[in-house]
């Protein structure tokens, strides 16, 4: 019952977030008439907060109960997103306001994400983690499908800034469901000699020394760098090069993201049949070519390239997400999970602003289509981290669970 409440909280919150993911660059392009580089800074601003505070968040989450953190960050995200439509209604919305709002949103989101990932193992037994992670990934998949089309439609109907109001309400919904969770975590035991810097270093050291997590972190950082470069210019490419409306972009994204729904529905069966590590390996190899395909998109029937790209990319991303999250939760000692989650998320969020700025710079220098091809090629190279790691020689992550790896938490 408590997991169901957590699942419901996540479901609507994910839907609102996906609408904002589409609405934020459209606000910059359609309402504020921003350049390609300025649009890329919107993405960079959202991920900058995680770059600055991500590792600190992990250390703090290991010191406290997760549920209060989830509530505070949800209410905070509701408040900050509500400022965008209010400013738009009064005609005072600026790029500076949008940058600040996205920065605060990203900062709160990294605290929420680390707490959410660390809360699940405190709520459920280990045997139920794969199933629970798949259900939460299904939320992401359904939200990506519904959010893209709903976001595009609402942008047409309400204008892009007002879509932020819908997302703000989704975070309020999330907070109310989390508040209804009856399970209460026991107080976290406080070490008498705790030190924030040392605790952060312990999380970093565990990830660096654990072969599976090291390979996953390296792949994630490299792939997300180039994915962010691609995402930073995709909306500009679709609007200014192909002449698509917001509604058309939403429909195309919805069709393409069916891959995410398929992955969420089949992840459990695929990992049971082929093994967790093998599914992760195959998914990482798929991702790069999926983004290369996007560069072939042209008007008319050529839009099918974009749909194929989105389908393959969303399929691979969800399979990677389910398997690598399970890997974290299985190989990491419970006392370190918050810091390890933060370190792994840091590899994502820390490179996002760099990738977004890189994408904007490449688009200004070489062009939008050329940037999509270059980003896709970079995504292909990211798979080498996993292909050249112990993951290619094992079937399941359980091979690396044991005292040897848990001792790394203490630097032995």
Short-list 349, 342, 380, 51, CA closest to 213:
342
CB atoms under 10 Å from CB of 127, counted, come to: 7
DSSP calls for 334-403: GGGHHHHHHHHHHHHHTTHHHHHHHHHHHHHHT-HHHHHHHHHHHHHHHTHHHHTSGGGG-SSGGGG-SH
Residue of 300, 319, 296 lying closest to 308 (CA atoms)? 296
138 touches 257 (CB < 8 A): no
Q: Which residue has the tokens 């940058």?
A: 99
Instruction: Count CA atoms closer than 13 A to 362's CA, side-chain side.
Output: 23
Note the pTM of the prediction, 2 decimals: 0.67
Token output for 68? 């209060």
What 3-state class would DSSP assign to 92? coil
Tokens 């998914």 belong to 283
Beta carbons of 311 and 256 less than 8 angstroms apart: yes
Q: Alpha-carbon distance 399 to 336, whole Å?
A: 19
Please report, for residues 59, 82, 263, the alpha-carbon distance to residue 323 in angstroms, rounded to integers and kept in the order given.
24, 35, 11
- Give the number of other CB atoms < 10 A from CB of residue 67: 19
Q: Pull the structure tokens for residue 171.
A: 């975070």
CA distances (Å), 207 to each of 63, 180, 311, 331, 411, in order? 19, 34, 31, 10, 12
**Residue 215 and residue 287: Cα distance in Å, rounded?**
16
**Phi-psi region at 299: left, alpha or beta (left = phi > 0; alpha = psi -120 to 50):** beta
What are the chain's domains?
Answer: 2-181+196-410 (1.20.1250.20)
Centroid of chain to Cα 287: 15
Phi-psi region of 266 (alpha: psi -120 to 50; beta: other; left: phi over 0): alpha
Chain centre distance of CA 173: 20
Please identify which residue in the block is written with the tokens 């942008």: 155
Q: Per residue of the chain (412 residues), give pLDDT as tens.
A: 677 777 777 777 777 667 777 677 777 877 778 887 787 788 778 777 777 777 777 777 777 787 888 889 889 989 998 998 888 888 888 888 989 998 998 888 878 877 877 777 777 766 676 667 667 766 666 665 555 556 556 665 666 677 788 778 888 888 888 888 777 766 666 655 566 667 777 778 888 888 888 999 999 999 999 998 998 888 889 888 888 887 787 777 767 667 877 887 788 789 888 988 899 999 999 999 999 999 999 998 899 999 899 889 888 988 888 888 778 777 777 777 777 877 887 777 778 778 888 988 899 889 899 999 999 999 999 999 999 888 888 888 876 654 444 444 444 4
């Amino acid at each position: 019952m408590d997991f169901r409440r957590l699942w419901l909280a996540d479901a609507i919150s994910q839907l609102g977030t996906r609408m904002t993911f589409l609405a934020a660059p459209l606000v910059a392009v359609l309402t504020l008439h921003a350049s390609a580089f300025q649009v890329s800074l919107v993405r960079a601003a959202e991920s900058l907060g995680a770059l600055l505070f991500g590792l600190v968040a992990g250390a703090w989450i290991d010191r406290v109960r997760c549920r209060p953190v989830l509530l505070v960050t949800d209410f905070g995200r509701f408040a900050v997103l509500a400022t965008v439509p209010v400013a738009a209604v009064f005609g005072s919305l600026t790029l500076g306001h949008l940058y600040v709002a996205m920065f605060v949103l990203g900062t709160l989101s990294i605290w929420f994400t680390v707490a959410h990932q660390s809360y699940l193992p405190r709520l459920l037994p280990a045997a139920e983690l794969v199933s629970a992670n798949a259900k939460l990934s299904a939320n992401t998949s359904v939200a990506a499908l519904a959010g893209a089309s709903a976001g595009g439609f609402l942008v047409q109907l309400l204008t892009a800034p007002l879509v932020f109001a819908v997302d703000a309400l989704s975070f309020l919904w999330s907070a109310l469901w989390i508040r209804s969770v009856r399970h209460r975590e026991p107080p976290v035991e406080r070490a008498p000699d705790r030190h924030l810097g040392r605790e952060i270093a312990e999380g970093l050291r565990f990830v660096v020394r654990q072969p599976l997590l090291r390979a996953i972190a390296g792949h994630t950082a490299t792939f997300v760098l180039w994915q962010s470069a691609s995402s930073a210019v995709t909306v500009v490419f679709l609007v200014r090069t192909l002449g698509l409306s917001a509604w058309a972009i939403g429909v195309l994204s919805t069709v393409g993201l069916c891959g995410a729904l398929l992955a969420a529905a089949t992840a459990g069966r695929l990992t049971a049949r082929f093994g967790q590590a093998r599914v992760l390996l195959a998914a990482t190899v798929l991702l790069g070519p999926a983004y290369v395909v996007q560069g072939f998109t042209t008007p008319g029937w050529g839009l099918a390239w974009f749909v194929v790209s989105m389908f393959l990319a969303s399929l691979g991303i969800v399979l990677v997400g389910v398997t690598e999250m399970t890997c974290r939760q299985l190989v990491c000692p419970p006392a370190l999970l918050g810091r390890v989650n933060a370190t792994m998320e840091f590899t994502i969020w820390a490179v996002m602003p760099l990738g977004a700025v890189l994408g904007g710079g490449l688009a200004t220098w070489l062009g939008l289509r050329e940037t999509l091809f270059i980003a896709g090629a970079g995504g292909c190279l990211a798979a080498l981290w996993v292909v050249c790691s112990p993951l290619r020689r094992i079937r399941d992550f359980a091979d690396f669970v044991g005292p040897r790896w848990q001792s790394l938490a203490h630097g032995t």
